[in-house]
């Protein structure tokens, strides 16, 4: 039977499609993936879609409950400070329960993913033949959530007994600010009762051989400046129009931005150690059906900036600069600052966890990494922000740490993935960190 040309191509196409999907299915799920191993358990956790705007927290908590139940002697409970936003807490009681406890934190949620931009579907947790596990959350931060559990499982199996009580918590909504998650948890009676002495939270991957560690976060400020002025005919030039005032301010902001950026470019400071300023919008003009009216000078103009302040910055000085230089009333300007997090703790100190001899937790942590065969890079300020701020604000020391070396930084990006061997090494690193910190009794 003769096949018309167009049908022939369709047939070839379908055959190719069918055989290629068979091939990718066999590559994606080899027999080892069906066994219950640390890697398959990690994949199972990654397959639960906890991306915003509709994170499936209840499935994540059921999965973590089953994991906690599979380890003898580990307690767990689910707290809820906002409806539908659970905090899952796992506890391994220490032999000296009066000592301040340790807390290991991770967040349940993740940012959304655009599946069409990914090599593998972002919630399939495909493990490629060369050992890369692709999933939203593979680096940020479901890896650490599962590594904590696996490390505890291994330590339990070796009959390790912690002196200090160990808590592991899984909080909702970190990616949208943590207001209904860590913020409420940390302010609760339940948190107070944990008597936390030290916390480890998420960090970031390191493209090199050294583990990165973070002793502070930067605090985001949303700054809007607005100019008003007389509207007018487009044929006349006059002083103090809204657009003229806004543009003058944008030049002032731009010079400040350059002064900060120059410090980074000259190598005198890391990006996260300066005040970063990025313009995000400019709003002005009188709309017309085809765009904007071109012969009217607008009476209002507004611009928005995303600022990130390290804890070393002086917030009063920055507020003064914005009020007097960026949006001076003498140029008919006003401003609004939304400070998205604190820069000072409850005692008024800059929110930084010491990474020197003055902090005994630091010394034990550093030694635990070395004795597990790892090396720490020079401690850094995190360029962005995490839930750590809620504990640092209370004066509790927190380090940000995710044990991923030789790994591209892919958090929030397309094709987020983690190498299986890097994941497995991270479990060993946490075994050392958890056993050392929980044995330290001074
Ligand atoms: Zn994260």
Task: Tell me, yes or no, if the two domains 34-213+355-439 and 222-339 fold the same way.
Answer: no
Q: Is the pLDDT of residue 244 over 70?
A: yes
What is the distance in A from the centroid of ligand 1 to the CA of 184?
18
Known binding-site positions for Zn(2+): 107, 140, 175, 202, 412
**Catalytic positions, please?**
109, 174
Fold of 222-339: Alpha-Beta Plaits (3.30.70)
Position 31 scores a pLDDT of 55
H or E segment to which residue 364 belongs = helix 360-371
Q: Is the pLDDT of residue 19 over 50?
A: no
Instruction: Tell the burial category of 45 from Cβ atoms under 10 Å away from its Cβ (0-12, 13-18, 19+).
Output: buried
CATH superfamily of 34-213+355-439: Zn peptidases (3.40.630.10)
Closest CA to 273 of 214, 339, 344: 214
- pTM here? 0.86
Cβ atoms 416, 137 nearer than 8 A = yes
What is the distance in A from the centroid of ligand 1 to the CA of 109?
8
When the pLDDT of each residue in the chain is averaged and rounded to a whole number, the result is 93
Interval 164-211: pLDDT, tens: 999 999 999 999 999 999 999 999 999 999 999 999 999 999 999 999
Closest CA to 29 of 15, 13, 40, 42: 40
| Tokens 């009959």, located at residue | 159
Pure H helices in 164-314: 182-186, 189-194, 242-265
Q: Is the pLDDT of residue 256 over 70?
A: yes
* Residue boundaries of the structural domains of the chain: 34-213+355-439, 222-339
Interval 70-120: pLDDT, tens: 999 999 999 999 999 999 999 999 999 999 999 999 999 999 999 999 999
Query: Which pair of tokens denotes residue 251?
Result: 């030049």
């Amino acid at each position: 039977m003769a096949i018309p040309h167009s049908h022939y191509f369709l047939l070839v196409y379908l055959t190719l499609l069918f055989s290629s999907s068979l091939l990718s299915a066999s590559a994606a799920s080899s027999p080892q993936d069906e066994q219950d191993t640390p890697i398959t358990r990690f994949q199972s956790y990654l397959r639960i879609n906890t991306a915003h705007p509709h994170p499936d927290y209840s499935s994540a908590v059921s999965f973590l409950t089953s994991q906690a139940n599979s380890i003898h002697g580990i307690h767990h409970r689910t707290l809820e400070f906002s409806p539908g936003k659970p905090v899952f807490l796992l506890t391994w009681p220490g032999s000296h329960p009066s000592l301040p406890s340790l807390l290991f934190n991770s967040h349940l949620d993740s940012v959304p993913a655009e599946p069409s931009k990914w090599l593998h579907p972002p919630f399939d947790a495909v493990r490629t033949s060369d050992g890369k596990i692709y999933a939203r959350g593979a680096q940020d931060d479901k890896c650490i959530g599962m590594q904590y559990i696996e490390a505890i499982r291994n330590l339990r199996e070796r009959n390790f007994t912690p002196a200090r009580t160990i808590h592991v918590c899984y909080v909702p909504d970190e990616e949208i600010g943590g207001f209904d998650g860590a913020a409420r948890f940390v302010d609760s009676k339940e948190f107070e009762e944990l008597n936390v002495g030290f916390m480890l939270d998420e960090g970031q991957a390191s493209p090199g051989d050294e583990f990165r560690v973070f002793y502070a976060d930067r605090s985001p400020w949303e700054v809007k400046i607005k100019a008003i002025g007389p509207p007018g005919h487009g044929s006349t030039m006059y002083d103090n129009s809204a657009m003229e005032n806004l543009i003058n301010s944008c030049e002032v902001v731009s010079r400040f931005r350059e002064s900060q950026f120059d410090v980074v470019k000259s190598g005198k400071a890391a990006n996260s150690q300066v005040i970063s300023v990025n313009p995000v919008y400019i709003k002005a003009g009188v709309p017309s059906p085809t765009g904007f009216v071109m012969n009217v000078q607008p009476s209002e103009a507004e611009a928005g900036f995303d600022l990130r302040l390290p804890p070393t910055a002086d917030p009063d000085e920055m507020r003064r600069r914005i009020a007097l230089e960026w949006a001076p009333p003498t140029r008919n300007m006003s401003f609004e600052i939304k400070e998205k997090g604190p820069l000072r703790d409850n005692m008024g100190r800059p929110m930084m966890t010491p990474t020197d001899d003055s902090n005994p937790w630091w010394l034990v942590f550093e030694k635990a990494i070395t004795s597990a065969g790892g090396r720490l890079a020079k401690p850094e300020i995190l360029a962005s922000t995490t839930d750590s701020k809620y504990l640092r604000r209370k004066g509790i020391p927190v380090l940000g740490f995710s044990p991923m070396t030789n790994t591209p930084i892919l958090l929030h990006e397309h094709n987020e993935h983690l190498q299986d061997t890097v994941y497995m090494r991270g479990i060993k690193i946490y075994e050392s960190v958890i056993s050392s910190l929980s044995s330290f009794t001074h």
